């Protein structure tokens, strides 16, 4: 509860970054020119997740031109993984609300004002996110819209609505706003899913804290008036990256479904996850037989289903490793 006592501002914008020296200037320039925030008490914090470039120097340069209306603070988090960077951001944030932005996610000029207004109007909202549009360096492949959500592109229409956490329909960690109280009272200090690390492909670190917040009774909303633009470089549309992403997103499924699951229910979840995704794999094979090698989007979906099918075994392996360590 110490973190809650430190919350004295309206909102903190938190930017976790890893080797983001070339990306940070764009996002900081956007934040320095936000509109409709004259009466807002806010701050920016940059959490450097053990970068090897000159990220620290970039932040120091911007601190020199930061005006008196808000502060820009820098923290180094040496434990690798996006989940640990977000946890550090929550500990350091002085705002009652925390608005996360990845260093490649550029906010609309009204993004901060809309984020704060929505939280004021929806006191039961523990987290909310908006529209995330793709800003592509190269043209995405045909039928890309089928998998664009995996690259944190979300365009769910112009009406606000609740997400569906029970079926893992949730917003990404980029451009996400959380109520600090909801996070601090419910999200463990040690995550089960750390995010991508060298040799570890498993994703799901975006969803884990949201599930804890949801199961504590808070609402998770989609707010279409918040717009950000996710910069997608060419290499994120290449086959090797996409298939690695698909597998990583699949491998976390069982662990996410086990959050808030009673011990007697866990074997049922393991079996249902395996069998449900085995069915999806077989149906996908029948539908796209002969075309998987030439259809990148269908191949991506197959890798996701395979990863999801194998996620119970990955989960069991992690459990056994913890017991034997």
In percent, the amount of the chain with pLDDT more than 90 equals: 86
Residue 245 lies in a domain: no
Name the H helices within the chain.
2-5, 24-32, 55-65, 82-92, 111-121, 180-186, 207-215, 239-251, 253-258, 266-288, 296-324
Domain count along the chain: 2
Q: What is the pLDDT of residues 1-25, one digit of tens each?
A: 445 445 589 999 999 999 999 999 9
> Do 74 and 120 reside in the same domain of the chain?
yes
CATH number at residue 139: 3.90.550.10
In 3-state terms, what secondary structure has residue 68? Answer: coil
| Tokens (6 digits) for 227 | 């717009």
Q: What is the pLDDT of residues 66-77, one digit of tens each?
A: 877 899 999 999
Residue 8 lies in a domain: yes
Identify the H or E element spanning 192.
none
In percent, the amount of the chain with pLDDT more than 70 equals: 95
Q: Compute φ and ψ for 10, nearest 5 degrees.
A: -70, -50
> Do 262 and 215 reside in the same domain of the chain?
no
> Do 194 and 320 reside in the same domain of the chain?
no
> Do 165 and 119 reside in the same domain of the chain?
yes
Helices (H) and strands (E) in the chain, counts: 11, 9
> Do 221 and 312 reside in the same domain of the chain?
no
pTM of the model: 0.93
Question: Given this model, what pLDDT does residue 2 score?
Answer: 47
Torsion angle of the four alpha carbons 75, 79, 85, 91, in this order, in degrees rounded to the nearest 10? -70
Q: What is the pLDDT of residues 286-325, one digit of tens each?
A: 999 989 989 999 999 999 999 999 999 999 988 887 777 6
Residue 242 lies in a domain: no
> Do 214 and 303 reside in the same domain of the chain?
no
Last residue of a domain, one of 237, 264, 296: 237
Question: Given this model, what pLDDT does residue 5 score?
Answer: 45
């Amino acid at each position: 509860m110490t973190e809650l006592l430190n919350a004295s501002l309206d909102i903190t914008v938190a930017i976790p970054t890893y080797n983001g020296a070339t990306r940070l200037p764009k996002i900081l320039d956007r934040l320095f020119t936000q509109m409709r925030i004259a009466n807002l008490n806010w701050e920016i914090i940059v959490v450097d997740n053990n970068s090897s470039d000159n990220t620290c120097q970039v932040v120091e340069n911007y601190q020199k031109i930061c005006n008196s209306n808000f502060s820009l603070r820098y923290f180094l988090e040496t434990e690798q993984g996006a989940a640990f960077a977000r946890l550090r951001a929550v500990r350091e944030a002085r705002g009652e609300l925390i608005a996360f932005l990845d260093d490649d996610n550029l906010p609309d000029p009204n993004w901060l004002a809309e984020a704060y207004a929505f939280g004021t109007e929806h006191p039961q909202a523990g987290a909310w996110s908006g529209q995330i549009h793709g800003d592509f360096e190269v043209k995405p492949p045909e039928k890309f819209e089928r998998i664009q959500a995996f690259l944190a592109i979300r365009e769910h229409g112009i009406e606000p609505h609740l997400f569906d956490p029970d079926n893992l329909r949730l917003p990404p960690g980029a451009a996400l706003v959380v109520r600090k109280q909801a996070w601090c009272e419910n999200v463990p200090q040690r995550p089960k899913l750390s995010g991508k690390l060298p040799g570890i492909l498993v994703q799901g670190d975006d969803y884990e804290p949201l599930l804890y917040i949801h199961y504590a009774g808070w609402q998770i909303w989609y707010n279409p008036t918040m717009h950000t633009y996710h910069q997608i470089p060419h290499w994120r549309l290449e086959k090797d990256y996409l298939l690695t992403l698909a597998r990583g997103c699949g491998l976390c499924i069982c662990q996410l479904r086990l959050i808030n699951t009673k011990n007697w229910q866990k074997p049922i979840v393991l079996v249902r996850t395996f069998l449900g995704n085995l069915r999806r794999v077989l149906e996908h094979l029948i539908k796209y037989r002969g075309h998987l090698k030439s259809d990148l989007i269908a191949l991506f979906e197959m890798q996701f289903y395979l990863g999801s099918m194998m996620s119970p075994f990955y989960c069991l392996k992690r459990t056994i490793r913890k017991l034997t360590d």
